[in-house]
Structure 1
Amino acid sequence: MFYTNLTRINHFFLLGFPGLSTQYYGPASALLFLLFLAIAVGNIFILVIIKREKSLHKPSYLIFCHLALTDLLFGTVTLPKVISKYWFNDSIISFYGCFAQMYFVHFLGATHSFILMVMALDRFIAIVSPLRYPALFTNSTASVLCGISWLMPSSWMVGIVFDALTLPFCNSNIIVQCYCDHLTIMRLACGSVREVEVVAFGLAMFSLLGPLTFIIFSYFSIIIAVLKMTATERRYKVLSTCAPQIFITCLYYVPRCFVYLANHLGYRVGTDARVVITMMYSLVPAIVNPVIYCFKTKDIKEALIQRFKSRKVRLVQIK
């Protein structure tokens, strides 16, 4: 339904963590700032090491780069404002600034989900059809699929944001969250929002459950293929290459599925707990993923060791 411009709100107030006492604002801002640094340093490091090491110019690591970029951008879009709230007591975000943040929050979330699906496809072809993998899944193929993963959500998220902007906002302007998301903003709209919510929910489920269904199918097929292998050493090698991807996927999907199922089944989570859970599943993967890339991925680990050794040799020669 189209509404005329009845908007009487020029800005929103981000409430952040509702139950947090003012005496803890300093520690909270410091912790969030450290989280932001960890996300920025970790993911920029991944982007740089894969860019500079020619041995890592492979489809799997190109996909890692796209995942690292979504994590880096998500942290950049969400954390500075909430850090500013607790550090400088700046809770105000402009009306259109809030909608812009909402766009990037959901766009980057959907993009990350589709890139995880591309990563699962990469492992599926590499293990189920290893002889055809070099021809089927090249760097160009990975780039095209990752490009589509960025392009698709960017288009429909524009529609969702414009649908939300047609609603009148004339009630409370307090957002009980650390950043602007669609569900929280819709609770502040006047009148009927059902049509907008149904469309947004349908696209959210498509972005979440569509890739997740394929990921479950692909890894289930991989497990069957591994069980058919006769050599124990080859089984271990295959599982070790898939373990980081499976862990990254679980880290992203499990908390989100829990929240959606809890809401669907009528299990009400307290406001404080809901905000904390949302921040955890939004930020923890972005912090943990670079660690997994570096220490659980053989090629990256070997590239780092080799670079460290070569630098050590150069230092010895200089002395």
Structure 2
Amino acid sequence: MTSNVTRIRSFSILGFPGLSPQYYGPVSALLFFIYLAIAVGNVFILAFVASQRPLQRPTYLVFCHLALNDLTFATATLPKVISKYWFGDGHISFYGCFSQMFFVHYLGSVTSFTLLVMALDRFVAVCLPLRYAALISNGTISVLCGLAWLVPLPLVVAVVLHALTLPFCGSNVIAQCYCDHISITSQACGEDVHVVAVTSLCIAMFCLLLPLAFILFSYSSIIAAITKMSYAAGRRKTLSTCTAQIFVTCLFYLPRCFVYVANTVGFSFSLDVRILLILLYSLFPPTVNPIIYCFKTQDIKRRLLKKLRANRVGTEAKLSR
């Protein structure tokens, strides 16, 4: 049964299989600028919140955890696919591929649980405003975000170790821009492949659907509470405190749900389109989240504009001398 099993020493990142070599340079440059945008935007959020004491409150601490997660995800996935198209180096070691798979699924799970913490913060703020100060503090949020990082860790480690037990008899080509569970286990063989796939699916559903259930309950309760407000100005003000969170949550969940539903109803994508969709819902949120934080969050926008005005006044004063 296992006579054809070979020891794979490395994998080859396929990237976009239909991409013509003449576009390798532009694609690698585009991915490099996307990585720069993710790095600059999320480092800015971390540094700006750290430097502004009034922003060091529960809501913005959650933003910082998301920014750190987005930055780590981009660093774990983008450099290898950039090097494939820029330098022609698409090879990744066997254990390097499994390490990348760990970070891909672990960081995605952490994002899901962190969005749950964000929804909890807004739920208490809108639906239980008189108890917000007693229930939600920087310490409480730090503990909850710490749990968001801790809870998925043993689960994803178990998924990776389980996949490592499989024998590999397929090719070593990863039909993706980075290593993930499906692309790796598709190269495996043996009776245990189905067991590994089902186990990983159950853990993925736990890490994604459990937080999503609470998030839907939380924002449904928030919307219901807002509609019951008698003053239009109060409704707008309350809704404005949640818009950034709602945008960020939708960017994470909606594309994933779309791909899942499309596959469930039998709507198939070509390999290139599937890879592009996965890359979009993986990298688009980390790229635009810092913009959402800055322009959809009144406190950050106000303090950023205040700092820009102060810098402009200082520059004009120096020039006038």
**If the length of structure 1 is used for normalisation, what is the TM-score?**
0.96
Q: Which residue type is aligned with residue 49 of structure 2?
A: I
Q: Residue in 2 aligned with 1:288?
A: 288
In 1, Cα distance between equivalents of 2:300 and 2:286: 18
Q: CA deviation at 1:7?
A: 5.0
Q: 1:29-108 counterparts in 2 under 5 A?
A: 29-108=28-107
In 1, Cα distance between equivalents of 2:148 and 2:88: 37
Query: Secondary structure in 2 aligned to 1:214?
Result: helix
In 2, Cα distance between equivalents of 1:119 and 1:143: 12
In 2, Cα distance between equivalents of 1:218 and 1:132: 16
CA deviation vs aligned residue, 1:235-272 (integer Å, no higher than 9, x gap): 00011111111111111101101112222333221111
Q: Which residue type is aligned with residue 311 of structure 1?
A: N
Q: CA deviation at 1:205?
A: 0.7
Q: Residue in 1 aligned with 2:233?
A: 233
Q: Which residue type is aligned with residue 49 of structure 1?
A: F
Q: 1:127-276 counterparts in 2 under 5 A?
A: 127-192=126-191, 193-276=193-276
Q: Which residue type is aligned with residue 215 of structure 2?
A: I
Q: Which residue type is aligned with residue 208 of structure 1?
A: L
Q: CA deviation at 1:308?
A: 1.6
Q: Residue in 2 aligned with 1:313?
A: 313
CA deviation vs aligned residue, 1:134-175 (integer Å, no higher than 9, x gap): 110100010000000000111111111000000011220001
Q: Residue in 1 aligned with 2:12?
A: 13
Structure 2, unmatched stretches of 5+, are none
In 2, Cα distance between equivalents of 1:237 and 1:125: 16
Q: Which residue type is aligned with residue 63 of structure 1?
A: V
Q: CA deviation at 1:317?
A: 4.2
Structure 1 pair 151/7, CA: closer, same or farther in 2 (3 Å)?
farther
CA deviation vs aligned residue, 1:209-238 (integer Å, no higher than 9, x gap): 111111111010001111111111110001
Q: Which residue type is aligned with residue 266 of structure 1?
A: G
Name whichever of 45-54 and 240-249 sits farther off: 240-249
In 2, Cα distance between equivalents of 1:216 and 1:316: 49
Give the superposed CA RMSD.
Answer: 1.2
Query: Secondary structure in 1 aligned to 2:11?
Result: strand
In 1, Cα distance between equivalents of 2:118 and 2:40: 23
Q: Which residue type is aligned with residue 175 of structure 2?
A: V
Structure 1 pair 38/51, CA: closer, same or farther in 2 (3 Å)?
same
Q: Residue in 1 aligned with 2:115?
A: 116
Name whichever of 191-200 and 308-317 sits farther off: 308-317
In 2, Cα distance between equivalents of 1:224 and 1:92: 52
Query: Secondary structure in 2 aligned to 1:126?
Result: helix
Q: Indicate the percent of aligned positions where both proteins have the same amino acid.
A: 58
Q: Which residue type is aligned with residue 307 of structure 2?
A: R
Q: Residue in 1 aligned with 2:125?
A: 126
Q: Which residue type is aligned with residue 280 of structure 1?
A: L
In 1, Cα distance between equivalents of 2:206 and 2:243: 26
**If the length of structure 2 is used for normalisation, what is the TM-score?**
0.96
In 1, Cα distance between equivalents of 2:265 and 2:171: 28
Query: Secondary structure in 2 aligned to 1:32?
Result: helix
Q: Which runs of 4+ in 1 moved over 6 A?
A: none
Q: Which residue type is aligned with residue 109 of structure 2?
A: A
In 1, Cα distance between equivalents of 2:268 and 2:190: 24
Name whichever of 252-261 and 100-109 sits farther off: 252-261
